[in-house]
Amino acid sequence: MFFTMGTVVSFRAPPEATAACTADVQKIFRAHDDRFSLYKPDSELRQVTDGRLLLSRSSREVREMYALAVEWRNTTGGLFDPHDPGGHLDLNGVVKAHAIDQAGQYLRQQGVHDWSLNCGGDILCSGVQAPGTPWAIGIVNPTDRTTIITTITMSPGRTAIATSGASERGHHIWSPSGKGGGSQPVVQASVIAMDILTADVLATTVCAGDTDIQDLAHRFKVQIFTVHADGQSSTNP
């Protein structure tokens, strides 16, 4: 377990893999934080947002991450946006998931089969938790962080889960329309997918509101578990 990107990362694997790979896993997350953090005055992305560096003159990594975020903006009809309401560039919606994905790729390259990475509640798993025991991920109650609403059993087709909402990090998601999801807006959304980037982006998209959840679930072949302002929860078939 280590702190980076403004949150805690938990890496679980067999003891020998943990000992061999933890330092390199930390490097992957910290490299993303050093380049893309908006809280570090000398990070490359902070220089872009401050106007000290043109996006067109930035590194290939920054331009590729921006292109990835724009692609998701187009895919979601603008609900996911790499700019905040003030027009400032904010790539956190893809950066964290990209770091998790890169760390997962590294572990696979090292021949580690059974592991989980949890970065601020966004989780990517591989293999099993123990022989014969799949990874089981609890979804917390947004109104009481000490209780679990339901538990998701992971499988080869369900390796990633991301949760978005205001209960843990405060109000950090904005709705382009300002409506925030209708009479009973979503206060927490968990998306279970085959990859962490899809899960993370869609969880943010659902919380932004004004989207057809069933359509998203069908288009991206994901499961979406939502908690609404009235306390009711729902999921797609």
Domain interval for residue 43: 2-235
The number of folded domains in the chain is 1
Q: Which of 138, 92, 148 is nearest to 118 (CA)?
A: 138
pTM exceeding the 0.75 threshold for the entire prediction: yes
pLDDT of residue 117 exceeding 70, the answer is yes
CA 157/CA 204 separation, integer angstroms:
21
Reduced to 3 states (helix: H, G, I; strand: E, B; else coil), residue 211 is: coil
Q: Which two tokens stand for residue 9?
A: 């990362």
Can you give the pLDDT at residue 139?
92
pLDDT of residue 133 exceeding 90, the answer is yes
Can you give the pLDDT at residue 178?
44
Can you give the pLDDT at residue 209?
75
Q: Which two tokens stand for residue 41?
A: 């005055």
What contacts 38, CB < 8 A, 6 or more positions away? 45, 46, 49, 90, 92
pLDDT of residue 174 exceeding 70, the answer is no
CA 224/CA 86 separation, integer angstroms:
29
Give the CATH number of the domain where residue 93 resides: 3.10.520.10
